[in-house]
Amino acid sequence: MEEKGKQLRVFLVDVVTKDTNTALLVDRMRELESLVDTYGGIVILQKYQKRQEPDHRTYVGKGKLEEIIADMQRLGANTLIIWNILKSRQIFYIQEILRPYNIDIRDRVDLILKIFDKHATSMESRLQVELAAIRHMGPRIFGMGIELGRQWGWWSGAMRGLGETNTERMKRHLKEKVLKIEKELKQYENMRKLHRESRIKKGMPTVWIVGYTNTGKSSLLNAMTKKGILAENKLFATLGTHVGNLYIMTDSETGQGKEVLLNDTIGFIRDLPPKLIKSFSSTLEDSIESNLLLHVIDASDPFIEERIEVVNHILDEIWAKQKRILVFNKIDLIDKIQLAELKKHFPEKGNVWISVKNIEWLDQVKLAIMENL
Protein backbone atom coordinates (compact mmCIF):
# COMPACT_ATOMS: atom_id res chain seq x y z
CA MET A 1 0.00 0.00 0.00
CA GLU A 2 1.24 3.47 -0.82
CA GLU A 3 0.35 6.84 0.61
CA LYS A 4 1.22 10.10 -1.13
CA GLY A 5 3.25 8.16 -3.67
CA LYS A 6 5.39 6.31 -1.17
CA GLN A 7 5.29 2.94 0.53
CA LEU A 8 3.91 3.15 4.05
CA ARG A 9 6.78 2.11 6.35
CA VAL A 10 5.54 2.48 9.89
CA PHE A 11 7.12 3.05 13.28
CA LEU A 12 4.64 2.13 16.05
CA VAL A 13 4.68 3.81 19.46
CA ASP A 14 2.47 3.13 22.47
CA VAL A 15 2.43 5.20 25.65
CA VAL A 16 1.06 3.44 28.72
CA THR A 17 0.94 3.97 32.46
CA LYS A 18 3.68 2.47 34.60
CA ASP A 19 1.39 -0.19 36.04
CA THR A 20 0.41 -1.64 32.63
CA ASN A 21 1.21 -5.35 32.56
CA THR A 22 3.32 -6.82 29.78
CA ALA A 23 0.59 -9.07 28.36
CA LEU A 24 -1.75 -6.11 27.81
CA LEU A 25 1.08 -4.07 26.33
CA VAL A 26 1.86 -6.82 23.82
CA ASP A 27 -1.82 -7.20 22.90
CA ARG A 28 -2.27 -3.47 22.32
CA MET A 29 0.77 -3.38 20.06
CA ARG A 30 -0.30 -6.53 18.21
CA GLU A 31 -3.70 -4.99 17.55
CA LEU A 32 -2.12 -1.80 16.25
CA GLU A 33 0.15 -3.84 14.00
CA SER A 34 -2.90 -5.69 12.67
CA LEU A 35 -4.51 -2.36 11.84
CA VAL A 36 -1.42 -1.33 9.87
CA ASP A 37 -1.46 -4.68 8.06
CA THR A 38 -5.15 -4.27 7.25
CA TYR A 39 -4.45 -0.88 5.73
CA GLY A 40 -1.52 -2.24 3.77
CA GLY A 41 1.49 -0.75 5.51
CA ILE A 42 4.69 -2.40 6.73
CA VAL A 43 5.68 -2.18 10.39
CA ILE A 44 9.40 -1.44 10.65
CA LEU A 45 9.77 -1.08 14.43
CA GLN A 46 7.71 -0.99 17.62
CA LYS A 47 8.42 0.85 20.85
CA TYR A 48 6.53 1.67 24.00
CA GLN A 49 6.98 4.22 26.75
CA LYS A 50 5.74 4.02 30.32
CA ARG A 51 4.84 7.35 31.86
CA GLN A 52 2.02 8.48 34.12
CA GLU A 53 1.20 11.64 32.18
CA PRO A 54 1.71 12.32 28.44
CA ASP A 55 3.82 15.31 27.48
CA HIS A 56 1.45 18.21 26.82
CA ARG A 57 3.30 19.17 23.63
CA THR A 58 4.75 16.05 22.00
CA TYR A 59 2.93 13.35 24.00
CA VAL A 60 6.02 11.12 24.17
CA GLY A 61 8.38 13.85 25.34
CA LYS A 62 11.00 15.79 23.38
CA GLY A 63 13.87 13.43 24.16
CA LYS A 64 11.93 10.30 23.24
CA LEU A 65 10.74 11.91 20.02
CA GLU A 66 14.34 12.67 19.05
CA GLU A 67 15.22 8.99 19.62
CA ILE A 68 12.26 7.93 17.48
CA ILE A 69 13.30 10.25 14.63
CA ALA A 70 16.85 8.87 14.70
CA ASP A 71 15.56 5.28 14.54
CA MET A 72 13.11 6.11 11.76
CA GLN A 73 15.84 7.71 9.66
CA ARG A 74 18.15 4.77 10.24
CA LEU A 75 15.49 2.22 9.24
CA GLY A 76 13.83 4.19 6.45
CA ALA A 77 10.42 4.55 8.15
CA ASN A 78 8.22 7.38 6.89
CA THR A 79 5.12 7.26 9.11
CA LEU A 80 4.89 7.48 12.89
CA ILE A 81 1.70 5.98 14.33
CA ILE A 82 0.92 6.42 18.03
CA TRP A 83 -1.57 4.05 19.64
CA ASN A 84 -3.12 6.77 21.79
CA ILE A 85 -5.61 9.46 20.76
CA LEU A 86 -3.68 12.72 20.52
CA LYS A 87 -4.98 16.22 20.97
CA SER A 88 -5.02 18.59 18.02
CA ARG A 89 -2.13 20.70 19.30
CA GLN A 90 0.00 17.63 20.05
CA ILE A 91 -0.44 16.41 16.47
CA PHE A 92 0.52 19.88 15.26
CA TYR A 93 3.68 20.15 17.37
CA ILE A 94 4.86 16.66 16.43
CA GLN A 95 4.15 17.27 12.73
CA GLU A 96 6.17 20.49 12.78
CA ILE A 97 9.13 18.64 14.32
CA LEU A 98 8.84 15.79 11.82
CA ARG A 99 8.36 18.00 8.75
CA PRO A 100 12.09 18.48 7.91
CA TYR A 101 12.49 14.69 7.90
CA ASN A 102 9.51 14.08 5.58
CA ILE A 103 7.82 11.92 8.23
CA ASP A 104 4.05 11.81 8.77
CA ILE A 105 2.31 11.48 12.14
CA ARG A 106 -0.96 9.60 12.79
CA ASP A 107 -2.74 8.45 15.89
CA ARG A 108 -4.72 5.22 16.12
CA VAL A 109 -8.04 6.80 15.16
CA ASP A 110 -6.47 8.33 12.04
CA LEU A 111 -5.42 4.83 11.01
CA ILE A 112 -8.86 3.37 11.72
CA LEU A 113 -10.45 6.10 9.61
CA LYS A 114 -8.14 5.27 6.72
CA ILE A 115 -9.17 1.61 6.98
CA PHE A 116 -12.83 2.63 7.09
CA ASP A 117 -12.27 4.74 3.98
CA LYS A 118 -10.58 1.83 2.22
CA HIS A 119 -13.39 -0.62 3.04
CA ALA A 120 -16.34 1.70 2.42
CA THR A 121 -18.08 0.37 -0.68
CA SER A 122 -21.68 1.55 -0.37
CA MET A 123 -22.73 5.19 -0.61
CA GLU A 124 -24.04 5.07 2.98
CA SER A 125 -20.79 3.72 4.43
CA ARG A 126 -18.80 6.34 2.50
CA LEU A 127 -20.98 9.06 3.97
CA GLN A 128 -20.51 7.62 7.44
CA VAL A 129 -16.73 7.54 7.02
CA GLU A 130 -16.72 11.13 5.79
CA LEU A 131 -18.79 12.21 8.79
CA ALA A 132 -16.47 10.37 11.18
CA ALA A 133 -13.46 12.02 9.57
CA ILE A 134 -14.91 15.50 9.96
CA ARG A 135 -15.69 14.89 13.62
CA HIS A 136 -12.21 13.59 14.29
CA MET A 137 -10.11 15.79 12.02
CA GLY A 138 -12.10 19.02 12.15
CA PRO A 139 -10.67 20.38 15.42
CA ARG A 140 -7.12 19.87 14.12
CA ILE A 141 -7.53 22.07 11.09
CA PHE A 142 -8.25 25.47 12.51
CA GLY A 143 -5.22 27.75 12.45
CA MET A 144 -2.70 24.90 12.41
CA GLY A 145 -1.90 24.46 8.73
CA ILE A 146 -2.44 20.71 8.83
CA GLU A 147 -3.35 19.38 5.41
CA LEU A 148 -5.61 16.41 4.93
CA GLY A 149 -4.01 15.70 1.55
CA ARG A 150 -5.80 13.35 -0.77
CA GLN A 151 -7.63 11.59 2.07
CA TRP A 152 -10.72 13.79 1.72
CA GLY A 153 -11.12 15.18 -1.76
CA TRP A 154 -13.93 17.58 -0.84
CA TRP A 155 -11.62 19.39 1.58
CA SER A 156 -9.08 20.26 -1.11
CA GLY A 157 -11.80 22.04 -3.06
CA ALA A 158 -13.11 23.82 0.00
CA MET A 159 -9.66 25.17 0.90
CA ARG A 160 -9.02 26.91 -2.42
CA GLY A 161 -8.85 30.64 -1.90
CA LEU A 162 -9.11 30.43 1.88
CA GLY A 163 -6.50 31.94 4.11
CA GLU A 164 -5.14 29.74 6.87
CA THR A 165 -6.47 32.12 9.53
CA ASN A 166 -10.01 32.20 8.15
CA THR A 167 -11.24 29.77 10.79
CA GLU A 168 -14.81 31.03 10.92
CA ARG A 169 -15.31 30.29 7.24
CA MET A 170 -13.76 26.86 7.65
CA LYS A 171 -15.97 26.09 10.62
CA ARG A 172 -19.05 27.16 8.69
CA HIS A 173 -18.06 24.97 5.75
CA LEU A 174 -17.58 21.93 8.01
CA LYS A 175 -20.86 22.59 9.79
CA GLU A 176 -22.72 22.80 6.48
CA LYS A 177 -21.01 19.62 5.29
CA VAL A 178 -22.02 17.76 8.45
CA LEU A 179 -25.63 18.87 8.10
CA LYS A 180 -25.70 17.75 4.47
CA ILE A 181 -24.26 14.32 5.30
CA GLU A 182 -26.62 13.86 8.24
CA LYS A 183 -29.55 14.73 5.98
CA GLU A 184 -28.49 12.11 3.43
CA LEU A 185 -27.92 9.50 6.15
CA LYS A 186 -31.40 10.25 7.47
CA GLN A 187 -32.81 9.09 4.14
CA TYR A 188 -31.07 5.73 4.53
CA GLU A 189 -32.33 5.57 8.11
CA ASN A 190 -35.91 6.15 6.95
CA MET A 191 -35.53 3.48 4.27
CA ARG A 192 -34.38 0.94 6.86
CA LYS A 193 -37.26 1.91 9.11
CA LEU A 194 -39.71 1.07 6.32
CA HIS A 195 -37.98 -2.27 5.78
CA ARG A 196 -38.19 -3.06 9.50
CA GLU A 197 -41.88 -2.20 9.58
CA SER A 198 -42.45 -4.46 6.58
CA ARG A 199 -40.64 -7.35 8.28
CA ILE A 200 -42.68 -6.85 11.45
CA LYS A 201 -45.92 -7.03 9.45
CA LYS A 202 -44.72 -10.27 7.85
CA GLY A 203 -43.83 -11.68 11.26
CA MET A 204 -40.16 -12.01 10.26
CA PRO A 205 -37.82 -11.66 13.28
CA THR A 206 -34.33 -10.20 12.94
CA VAL A 207 -31.12 -11.29 14.63
CA TRP A 208 -28.09 -8.99 14.73
CA ILE A 209 -24.60 -10.51 14.77
CA VAL A 210 -22.28 -8.40 16.93
CA GLY A 211 -18.80 -8.83 18.33
CA TYR A 212 -15.24 -7.65 18.49
CA THR A 213 -13.62 -7.19 15.10
CA ASN A 214 -12.16 -10.32 13.47
CA THR A 215 -14.07 -12.87 15.58
CA GLY A 216 -15.78 -14.55 12.62
CA LYS A 217 -19.09 -12.69 12.37
CA SER A 218 -19.12 -12.55 8.57
CA SER A 219 -18.02 -16.19 8.37
CA LEU A 220 -20.95 -17.16 10.60
CA LEU A 221 -23.39 -15.23 8.40
CA ASN A 222 -21.95 -16.91 5.30
CA ALA A 223 -22.13 -20.38 6.81
CA MET A 224 -25.73 -19.97 7.95
CA THR A 225 -27.21 -18.10 4.97
CA LYS A 226 -24.85 -18.80 2.03
CA LYS A 227 -24.70 -15.02 1.64
CA GLY A 228 -21.23 -15.11 0.10
CA ILE A 229 -19.94 -11.86 1.59
CA LEU A 230 -16.23 -11.19 1.99
CA ALA A 231 -14.81 -12.71 5.17
CA GLU A 232 -11.15 -11.82 5.66
CA ASN A 233 -8.76 -12.41 8.53
CA LYS A 234 -8.35 -8.65 8.89
CA LEU A 235 -9.71 -6.00 11.22
CA PHE A 236 -12.78 -4.14 9.93
CA ALA A 237 -13.14 -6.34 6.85
CA THR A 238 -16.88 -5.63 7.15
CA LEU A 239 -17.97 -2.00 7.31
CA GLY A 240 -21.52 -1.79 6.00
CA THR A 241 -24.52 -3.93 6.86
CA HIS A 242 -25.08 -7.37 5.32
CA VAL A 243 -28.40 -9.19 5.62
CA GLY A 244 -29.04 -12.88 4.96
CA ASN A 245 -32.15 -15.04 5.14
CA LEU A 246 -32.08 -18.08 7.43
CA TYR A 247 -34.80 -20.73 7.32
CA ILE A 248 -35.08 -22.80 10.48
CA MET A 249 -37.24 -25.92 10.33
CA THR A 250 -39.41 -26.26 13.42
CA ASP A 251 -41.36 -29.40 12.40
CA SER A 252 -39.49 -32.07 10.42
CA GLU A 253 -42.68 -34.02 9.65
CA THR A 254 -44.63 -31.16 8.10
CA GLY A 255 -41.60 -29.24 6.87
CA GLN A 256 -42.83 -26.09 8.60
CA GLY A 257 -40.32 -23.59 9.84
CA LYS A 258 -39.49 -19.98 10.50
CA GLU A 259 -37.68 -17.47 8.33
CA VAL A 260 -35.23 -15.26 10.20
CA LEU A 261 -33.10 -12.34 8.98
CA LEU A 262 -29.48 -12.26 10.11
CA ASN A 263 -27.66 -8.90 10.11
CA ASP A 264 -23.89 -8.50 10.18
CA THR A 265 -22.17 -5.14 10.43
CA ILE A 266 -18.99 -3.40 11.62
CA GLY A 267 -16.96 -5.09 14.34
CA PHE A 268 -16.04 -3.30 17.54
CA ILE A 269 -12.57 -2.52 18.91
CA ARG A 270 -11.23 -1.21 22.21
CA ASP A 271 -11.26 2.50 22.98
CA LEU A 272 -13.35 3.62 20.01
CA PRO A 273 -14.20 7.30 20.61
CA PRO A 274 -17.96 7.92 21.07
CA LYS A 275 -17.94 10.37 18.14
CA LEU A 276 -16.79 7.57 15.84
CA ILE A 277 -19.57 5.28 17.07
CA LYS A 278 -22.06 8.11 16.60
CA SER A 279 -21.04 8.47 12.95
CA PHE A 280 -22.20 4.89 12.33
CA SER A 281 -25.37 5.22 14.39
CA SER A 282 -27.66 4.91 11.38
CA THR A 283 -26.16 1.51 10.53
CA LEU A 284 -26.00 0.35 14.16
CA GLU A 285 -29.63 1.35 14.59
CA ASP A 286 -30.66 -2.05 13.22
CA SER A 287 -29.19 -3.65 16.33
CA ILE A 288 -31.46 -1.60 18.57
CA GLU A 289 -34.53 -2.73 16.65
CA SER A 290 -33.56 -6.40 16.24
CA ASN A 291 -35.25 -9.16 18.23
CA LEU A 292 -32.07 -10.90 19.37
CA LEU A 293 -28.29 -10.37 19.46
CA LEU A 294 -25.71 -13.04 18.62
CA HIS A 295 -22.51 -11.96 20.33
CA VAL A 296 -19.71 -13.79 18.49
CA ILE A 297 -16.53 -14.33 20.53
CA ASP A 298 -13.12 -15.69 19.55
CA ALA A 299 -12.67 -18.61 21.98
CA SER A 300 -8.93 -18.66 21.29
CA ASP A 301 -8.44 -15.02 22.29
CA PRO A 302 -6.35 -14.70 25.50
CA PHE A 303 -8.11 -11.39 26.25
CA ILE A 304 -11.58 -12.85 25.88
CA GLU A 305 -13.08 -11.14 28.94
CA GLU A 306 -11.85 -7.71 27.92
CA ARG A 307 -13.23 -8.18 24.38
CA ILE A 308 -16.64 -9.15 25.79
CA GLU A 309 -16.58 -6.09 28.04
CA VAL A 310 -15.72 -3.80 25.09
CA VAL A 311 -18.66 -5.12 23.05
CA ASN A 312 -21.07 -4.89 25.98
CA HIS A 313 -19.96 -1.32 26.67
CA ILE A 314 -20.60 -0.21 23.08
CA LEU A 315 -23.96 -2.00 22.97
CA ASP A 316 -24.93 -0.18 26.15
CA GLU A 317 -23.85 3.14 24.58
CA ILE A 318 -26.20 2.64 21.63
CA TRP A 319 -28.99 1.37 23.90
CA ALA A 320 -29.11 -2.16 22.51
CA LYS A 321 -30.89 -3.93 25.36
CA GLN A 322 -32.08 -7.17 23.74
CA LYS A 323 -31.25 -10.62 25.00
CA ARG A 324 -27.75 -11.67 23.94
CA ILE A 325 -26.58 -15.16 23.06
CA LEU A 326 -22.84 -15.69 23.50
CA VAL A 327 -21.50 -17.64 20.51
CA PHE A 328 -17.96 -18.85 21.21
CA ASN A 329 -16.38 -19.37 17.80
CA LYS A 330 -13.00 -20.88 16.78
CA ILE A 331 -13.06 -23.64 19.39
CA ASP A 332 -11.06 -25.69 16.89
CA LEU A 333 -8.10 -23.47 17.78
CA ILE A 334 -8.03 -24.52 21.45
CA ASP A 335 -7.55 -27.91 23.11
CA LYS A 336 -10.06 -29.84 25.23
CA ILE A 337 -8.61 -28.61 28.51
CA GLN A 338 -8.87 -24.96 27.43
CA LEU A 339 -12.42 -25.53 26.20
CA ALA A 340 -13.42 -27.12 29.50
CA GLU A 341 -11.94 -24.18 31.42
CA LEU A 342 -13.84 -21.69 29.26
CA LYS A 343 -17.13 -23.51 29.74
CA LYS A 344 -16.48 -23.52 33.47
CA HIS A 345 -15.77 -19.77 33.39
CA PHE A 346 -18.82 -19.02 31.22
CA PRO A 347 -21.36 -21.57 32.53
CA GLU A 348 -24.53 -19.84 31.28
CA LYS A 349 -26.94 -22.37 29.82
CA GLY A 350 -27.69 -20.42 26.65
CA ASN A 351 -24.06 -20.15 25.48
CA VAL A 352 -23.12 -21.78 22.16
CA TRP A 353 -19.74 -23.35 21.36
CA ILE A 354 -18.87 -23.73 17.68
CA SER A 355 -16.39 -23.43 14.86
CA VAL A 356 -17.87 -22.02 11.68
CA LYS A 357 -15.63 -24.45 9.79
CA ASN A 358 -17.83 -27.30 11.06
CA ILE A 359 -21.30 -26.95 9.52
CA GLU A 360 -22.84 -29.54 11.88
CA TRP A 361 -22.21 -27.29 14.89
CA LEU A 362 -24.31 -24.53 13.32
CA ASP A 363 -27.46 -26.43 14.30
CA GLN A 364 -26.67 -25.34 17.84
CA VAL A 365 -26.88 -21.70 16.76
CA LYS A 366 -30.20 -22.29 15.00
CA LEU A 367 -31.60 -24.02 18.09
CA ALA A 368 -30.46 -21.17 20.34
CA ILE A 369 -32.10 -18.62 18.03
CA MET A 370 -35.44 -20.45 18.04
CA GLU A 371 -35.38 -20.92 21.81
CA ASN A 372 -34.94 -17.18 22.31
CA LEU A 373 -37.33 -15.77 19.70
Please give the Cα distance from 274 to 276 (Å, whole number). 5
Predicted confidence at residue 236, as pLDDT, reads 55
Predicted confidence at residue 102, as pLDDT, reads 92
Beta carbons within 8 Å of 274's beta carbon, 6+ residues apart: 317
Q: Examine residue 209 and state whether it is found in any structural domain, yes or no.
A: yes
Predicted confidence at residue 287, as pLDDT, reads 65
| Cβ pair 277, 284 in contact under 8 A | yes
Predicted confidence at residue 251, as pLDDT, reads 62
Same domain (yes/no): 104, 131 = no
- Asked whether the whole model's pTM tops 0.95, one would answer no
Same domain (yes/no): 110, 128 = no
Predicted confidence at residue 279, as pLDDT, reads 66
Same domain (yes/no): 144, 86 = no
Beta carbons within 8 Å of 324's beta carbon, 6+ residues apart: 210, 292, 293, 294, 295, 315
Q: Examine residue 235 and state whether it is found in any structural domain, yes or no.
A: yes
**How many folded domains does the chain comprise?**
3
Same domain (yes/no): 105, 129 = no
Q: Examine residue 192 and state whether it is found in any structural domain, yes or no.
A: no
Q: Could you tell me the CATH number of the domain that includes residue 17?
A: 3.40.50.11060
Among residues 104, 115, 112, 103, the alpha carbon closest in space to that of 84 is found at 112
Predicted confidence at residue 285, as pLDDT, reads 66
Same domain (yes/no): 9, 74 = yes
| Cβ pair 263, 242 in contact under 8 A | yes
Domain extent for 279: 204-372
Which SS3 state, helix, strand or coil, does residue 337 take? helix
Please give the Cα distance from 239 to 38 (Å, whole number). 13
Same domain (yes/no): 362, 338 = yes
Q: Label residues 214-249 b or e (16+ Cβ within 10 Å = b).
A: bbbbbbbbbbbbebebebeebbbbbbbbbbbebebe
| Cβ pair 261, 243 in contact under 8 A | yes
Q: Examine residue 155 and state whether it is found in any structural domain, yes or no.
A: yes
Q: Which of 84, 115, 146 is the last residue of a domain?
A: 115
Q: Could you tell me the CATH number of the domain that includes residue 231?
A: 3.40.50.300
Q: How far is CA 236 from the centre of its chain?
A: 5
- Residue 124, exposed/middle/buried by CB under 10 A (0-12, 13-18, 19+)? buried
Q: Examine residue 59 and state whether it is found in any structural domain, yes or no.
A: yes
For CA atoms 344, 350, 351, 353, the dihedral sign is: positive
Q: Examine residue 191 and state whether it is found in any structural domain, yes or no.
A: no
Q: Which of 92, 115, 138 is the last residue of a domain?
A: 115
Q: Examine residue 193 and state whether it is found in any structural domain, yes or no.
A: no
Same domain (yes/no): 103, 166 = no
Same domain (yes/no): 338, 366 = yes
Same domain (yes/no): 127, 105 = no
Q: Examine residue 106 and state whether it is found in any structural domain, yes or no.
A: yes
Q: Which of 81, 115, 149 is the last residue of a domain?
A: 115
Q: Give per-residue pLDDT as tens, 216-260.
A: 888 888 888 876 554 455 555 554 556 777 777 666 666 677 788
* Bridge partners, 206 (sequence order): 261
Same domain (yes/no): 111, 136 = no
* Bridge partners, 211 (sequence order): 296
Which parts of the chain have pLDDT scores under 50?
1, 142-156, 159, 162-165, 230-231, 239
* Bridge partners, 79 (sequence order): 10, 104
Relative to beta strand 292-298, strand 206-211 is parallel
Same domain (yes/no): 163, 74 = no
Same domain (yes/no): 141, 100 = no
